């Protein structure tokens, strides 16, 4: 092919050939931006034609307010469950389309990285790279946990380059100016900044001052002035109307009542399934062996995670635990459990179907509509699927071993004419299944947030019918204690989506690891019950703290907020 050009343009051609070129993705975005730049200001949202989700009215209002009036620096403080992630994603897409942003950094809690990534890809059409090492922070669209980002080697890369937009989720964790987190985010060179939190104040009004100062220094004046004008003490505000006026210039907040959105009811039924003699003996022997092995190790060399895995597998299905035990035997040497003790356990493996599977088959037989069955483990999934197929029922499976296309096909078949969809957490992540209204939790995740995510697959905006959630727990096992804590101490099934995470954040460690520690450290049933009761009181305290936080935020940010004094 001949390329014709005028000699006067030789410098342009040489620069073009020598210079770095954009990727195809960036070329298309910039080309679209050039076409869309004819739209003046933010009269309309250009991104609405490019995203895969229909925004609710309150979300459109929030996005336009941030873009038009707050110039891209705002606290998104809608109540939990109202879609702050989507709002932030649309704002990012809008800036990209208008060529007002190219480098975007999103900082989230570690547990939410994958959720953020899938939401942005599936609903907003933005592909962010999850960053772990310094080189990955040199990309343009970066998503990372704040704990990873603030590491010295990563922070150096982040701080040496300007960012167009920085988004921080769970931003109430930036409440203390003296912390590494606050100072790390404050040191980032950024044009636009979005801070996402449903509870800007946790237990001290100074936290609110620090958060707003990070966003817009001087908005709440000096701390001395703020204290004089707006604080009775650090737990109680005064001149709330004046404070609310200043906050309205940098904060967007809606509560559920304001949105008038329809939320279906959630009916939860929990069943305790008694174990047969052999299954019960196997459970107790395995708990004893795991407890012995864990306590035998030096305190400083205990890794609770493999023991936690075996306990969870044991509560799910005997064959699931047996598969791991067999792997330990084949390995020959194991720091978890000696091979001879693994063989002893395998010799006691109960024959026949476990009690939970028998109960599940009876439950499905009585169903008159499609249902989703969730389990944590692939082996359990396959055992339940095999039993259902032997009964002649149509079953679709979703698990981590399938490609995205295969999962999509399975969901499509289930939606069209399926009776059962069996899914693991990994398989069901990111799929919205609100066309179904019945969900059975075959086993209970030891992390309540994963249980909430399961339920959120069907109980979400867009669900037209009331949903039924069925929880199974084997009697006399850790599952029954988990269910007791969830229902009686946390009141989980009465909470609004998103509130559970706020409550658990006040605990001294990982919820599931705390539970495993109780189970493994207890030498008998009586000691375990005592430890669980103490843990239950800690959960009740965390619930009270959250309720106080919620009330204070209601007072500060809702026009009809009641006068509340936050307990220390």
- Is the separation of the CB atoms in 146 and 181 below 8 Å? yes
For tokens 């359990």, the residue is 380
Banded pLDDT at 567 (limits 50, 70, 90)? very low
pLDDT in tens, 32-88: 655 554 445 677 889 888 988 888 888 999 999 999 999 999 999 887 667 888 999
Nearest to 206 by CA among 234, 172, 182: 234
In angstroms, rounded to a whole number, what is the distance separating the alpha carbons of residues 304 and 301?
A: 10
Residue 566, phi then psi, degrees to nearest 5: -80, 125
pLDDT in tens, 16-25: 666 666 666 6
What mean pLDDT comes out for the span 152-166? 96
In angstroms, rounded to a whole number, what is the distance separating the alpha carbons of residues 117 and 121?
A: 6
Domain 57-258 and domain 266-273+356-557 have a common topology: yes
pLDDT in tens, 455-498: 878 887 678 899 999 999 999 999 998 888 888 888 766 765 56
Q: Is 359 exposed, middle or buried (0-12, 13-18, 19+ CB in 10 A)?
A: middle
In angstroms, rounded to a whole number, what is the distance separating the alpha carbons of residues 28 and 557?
A: 41
* Ranges of each domain in the chain: 57-258, 266-273+356-557, 277-348
Mean pLDDT of the chain: 85
What mean pLDDT comes out for the span 96-102? 93
Sign for the CA dihedral angle at 557, 561, 563, 564 comes to: negative
In angstroms, rounded to a whole number, what is the distance separating the alpha carbons of residues 235 and 258?
A: 26
Q: Report the pLDDT value the prediction gives residue 404, as an integer from 0 to 100.
A: 74
Q: Quick one: 266-273+356-557 is in which CATH superfamily?
A: P-loop containing nucleotide triphosphate hydrolases (3.40.50.300)
Sign for the CA dihedral angle at 442, 444, 449, 450 comes to: negative
- Is the separation of the CB atoms in 472 and 443 below 8 Å? yes
Please provide the DSSP assignment of 144-178 as one string: EEHHHHTSHHHHHHHHTS-EEEEEESSGGG---TT
Q: Report the pLDDT value the prediction gives residue 497, as an integer from 0 to 100.
A: 57
Angle between helices 205-215 and 223-230 (to 10 degrees): 130
- CATH class of residue range 57-258: alpha beta
For tokens 């975007």, the residue is 104
């Amino acid at each position: 092919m001949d390329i014709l050009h005028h000699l006067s343009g030789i410098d342009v051609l040489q620069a073009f050939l020598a210079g770095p070129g954009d990727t195809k993705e960036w070329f298309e975005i910039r080309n679209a931006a050039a076409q869309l730049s004819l739209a003046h200001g933010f009269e309309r949202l250009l991104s609405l034609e490019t995203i895969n989700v229909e925004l609710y009215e309150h979300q459109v209002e929030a996005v336009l307010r941030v873009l038009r009036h707050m110039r891209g620096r705002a606290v998104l403080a809608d109540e939990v469950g109202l879609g702050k992630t989507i709002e932030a994603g649309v704002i990012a897409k809008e800036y990209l389309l208008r060529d007002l942003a190219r480098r975007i950094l999103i900082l989230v809690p570690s547990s939410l990285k994958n959720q953020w990534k899938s939401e942005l890809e599936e609903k907003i059409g933005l592909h962010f790279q999850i960053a772990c090492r310094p080189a990955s922070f040199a990309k343009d669209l970066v998503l990372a946990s704040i704990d990873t980002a603030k590491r010295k080697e990563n922070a150096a890369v982040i701080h040496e380059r300007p960012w167009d937009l920085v988004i921080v989720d769970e931003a109430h964790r930036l409440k203390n100016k003296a912390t590494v987190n606050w100072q790390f985010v404050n040191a980032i060179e950024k044009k636009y900044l979005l801070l996402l939190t449903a509870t800007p104040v946790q237990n001290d009004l100074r936290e609110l001052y620090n958060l707003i100062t990070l966003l817009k220094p001087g908005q709440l004046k000096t701390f001395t002035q703020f204290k004089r004008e707006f604080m009775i003490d650090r737990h109680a505000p005064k001149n709330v109307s004046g404070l609310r006026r200043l906050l309205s210039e940098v904060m967007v907040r809606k509560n559920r009542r304001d949105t008038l959105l329809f939320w279906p009811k959630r009916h939860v039924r929990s069943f305790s399934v008694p174990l047969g003699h052999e299954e019960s003996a196997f459970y107790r022997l395995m708990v004893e062996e795991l407890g012995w092995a864990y306590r035998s190790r030096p305190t400083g060399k205990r890794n609770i995670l493999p023991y936690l895995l075996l306990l969870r597998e044991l509560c799910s299905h005997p064959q699931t635990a047996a598969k791991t035990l067999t792997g330990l035997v084949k390995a020959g040497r194991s720091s978890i459990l000696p091979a001879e003790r693994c063989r002893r356990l395998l010799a006691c493996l109960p024959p026949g179907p476990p009690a939970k599977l028998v109960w599940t088959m009876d439950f499905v037989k009585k169903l008159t509509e499609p249902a989703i069955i969730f389990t944590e483990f692939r082996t359990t999934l396959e055992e339940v699927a095999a039993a259902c197929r032997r009964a002649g029922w149509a079953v679709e499976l979703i698990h981590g071993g399938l490609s995205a296309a295969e999962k999509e096909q399975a969901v499509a078949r289930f939606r069209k004419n399926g009776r059962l969809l069996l899914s693991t957490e990994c398989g069901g992540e990111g799929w919205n299944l609100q066309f179904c209204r019945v969900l059975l939790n075959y086993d209970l995740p030891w992390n309540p947030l994963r249980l909430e995510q399961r339920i959120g697959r069907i109980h979400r905006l867009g669900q037209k019918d009331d949903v039924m959630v069925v929880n199974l727990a084997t009697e006399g096992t850790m599952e029954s204690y988990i269910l007791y804590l969830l229902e009686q101490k946390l009141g989980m099934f009465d909470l609004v989506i998103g509130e559970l995470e706020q409550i658990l954040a006040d605990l001294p460690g990982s919820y599931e690891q705390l539970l495993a520690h109780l189970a493994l450290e207890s030498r008998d049933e009586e000691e375990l019950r005592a430890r669980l009761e103490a843990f239950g009181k800690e959960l009740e305290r965390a619930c009270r703290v959250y309720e106080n936080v919620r009330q204070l935020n209601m007072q500060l940010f809702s026009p009809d907020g009641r006068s509340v004094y936050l307990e220390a």
